């Protein structure tokens, strides 16, 4: 009798473990589905527009747009850039396959991780949630470090990752360095 009882107990324990593992795996897949294993939106459905661009100032600790200037005097503390909106057609959502880049005169500013004539302008591949129709963003350049005080053209580009086609471009001329 004790053998039979212990055999049933073993099978019951094994069944309980199996049910626990099975239910746990189901929960993991359900949570992954709810959080959205992000898919990539069709690159051809992406458009980008300018909300504001020009010169910004810090007021009450925040950057505030002050003028649509495209010529910026080379002074420490000057801030310029672009507020933009990304729209995706057809109600698509997921990872938007874009990159944000600054093209600029040759710079070497290790403290700001800037080397060469191009640098990252922020996080690439933003994610558009299932209930969103657009994303708003801001990319700013602040003249701070003496090594980045270089006159010339500074151009923000937002472009597709796959073929590097430019969706948005804004140029600023820095003068007087």
Domain boundaries, the chain: 1-37, 43-175
Residue that is written with structure tokens 């151009």 in the block = 155
CATH no. of 43-175: 2.60.40.2390
- With beta carbons less than 8 A apart as the criterion, state whether 118 and 101 touch: yes
Specify the pLDDT at position 133: 84
Sign of torsion over alpha carbons 39, 86, 134, 136: positive
What is the average per-residue pLDDT within 24-33?
Answer: 42
pLDDT band at 14 (very low <50, low <70, confident <90, very high): low
Rounded Cα gap, residues 103 and 105, in angstroms: 7
Cα dihedral angle (57, 62, 66, 69), rounded to 10 degrees? 60
pLDDT band at 174 (very low <50, low <70, confident <90, very high): very high
45-70 tens-digit pLDDT: 999 999 999 999 999 999 999 999 99
Note the pLDDT of residue 162.
87
Tens-digit pLDDT profile for residues 82-114: 999 999 988 888 999 999 999 999 998 888 788
| Cα 119 to Cα 156: distance, rounded to the nearest angstrom | 10
Q: What is the pLDDT of residues 156-168, one digit of tens each?
A: 999 998 888 999 9
pLDDT confidence tier of residue 124, bands split at 50, 70 and 90: confident
């Amino acid at each position: 009798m004790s053998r039979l009882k212990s055999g049933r107990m073993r099978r019951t324990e094994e069944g309980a473990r199996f049910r626990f593992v099975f239910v746990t795996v189901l929960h993991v897949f359900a949570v992954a589905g709810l959080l959205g294993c992000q898919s990539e939106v069709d690159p051809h459905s992406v458009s980008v527009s300018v909300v504001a661009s020009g010169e910004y100032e810090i007021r009450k600790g925040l950057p505030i747009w002050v003028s649509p200037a495209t010529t910026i005097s080379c002074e420490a503390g000057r801030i310029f850039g672009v507020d933009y909106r990304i729209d995706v057609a057809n109600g698509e959502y997921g990872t938007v396959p874009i990159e944000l880049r600054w093209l600029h005169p040759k710079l070497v500013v290790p403290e700001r991780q800037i080397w060469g004539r191009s640098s990252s302008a922020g996080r690439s591949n933003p994610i558009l949630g299932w209930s969103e129709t657009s994303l708003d963003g801001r990319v700013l350049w602040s003249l701070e470090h003496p090594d980045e005080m270089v006159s010339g053209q500074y151009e923000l580009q937002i472009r597709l990752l796959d073929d590097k086609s430019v969706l948005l471009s804004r140029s600023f001329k820095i003068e007087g360095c």
